[in-house]
Structure 1
Amino acid sequence: MLAAFSVAPSGGEQPDASVHDAVAAAVDIVRRSGLPHRTDSMFTTIEGEWDEVFGVIKEATEAVGQFGTRVSLVIKADIRPGYTGEIDGKLERLEAAIEERAEN
């Protein structure tokens, strides 16, 4: 499965409402998990089996909780049993389709 998630604290003490320290704590947990992952400006996507992916998301959410009085968590999952390597595979198929359209 692929799971894209965004986690952020609220009610923290940062005067500019910045959440980069909290997000860094979450991304560090994802990186240490050893699971395939990708982080962009809005989400972190992680690939693996249900229990391992959601275990990492839970740990990352708990880490972010230390930076505020509440935590917001958004998750979108692509569940495709029997497939692995989709964190790159989906992008490769997209780029091939774009290239094919450009040639036609």
Structure 2
Amino acid sequence: MAKITMAFQVIPKVEESRIYPVVDEAIKVVAQSGLPYEVGPMETALEGEPDEIWQVIKDAMEACIKAGASRVMTNVKIDYVPQGSTINEKIAKYR
């Protein structure tokens, strides 16, 4: 399968004052993955092989739990193009 673009949003169940610090832990996992990514105001987009990205998302959810969340709701969007798809192709004209 070609590289895909997948965007995800973690919604940790924590007190309001802890939401950003917990989400920051999830973003650290993404940054350490080595995959191309883009953090947005509502979600983070990654590109790569599907199994690689799924692992990053699972690790990001676990990071939220380790940071104190009692639960994590996660929204995922996938863009599969058989020839491949990149984040840059989607947003370059807006930069």
* TM, length-normalised to structure 2: 0.85
SS at match of 2:46: strand
SS at match of 1:22: helix
For this pair of structures, how many residues does the alignment match? 90
* 1:80-91 paired onto structure 2 within 5 Å: 80-84=81-85, 86-91=86-91
Which protein shows a greater Rg?
A: 1
The runs of at least 4 aligned residues of structure 1 exceeding 3 Å deviation read: none
Q: Structure 1 stretches of 5 or more lacking a match?
A: 97-104
Rounded to whole Å, the distance in 2 between the matches of 1:56 and 1:80 is 20
Rounded to whole Å, the distance in 1 between the matches of 2:40 and 2:90 is 16
Match of 1:8 in 2: 11
Q: How big is the shift at 1:69?
A: 1.2
Say what the alpha-carbon RMSD is for the aligned residues.
1.6
Match of 1:76 in 2: 77
Match of 2:47 in 1: 47
Q: Structure 2 stretches of 5 or more lacking a match?
A: none
* TM, length-normalised to structure 1: 0.78
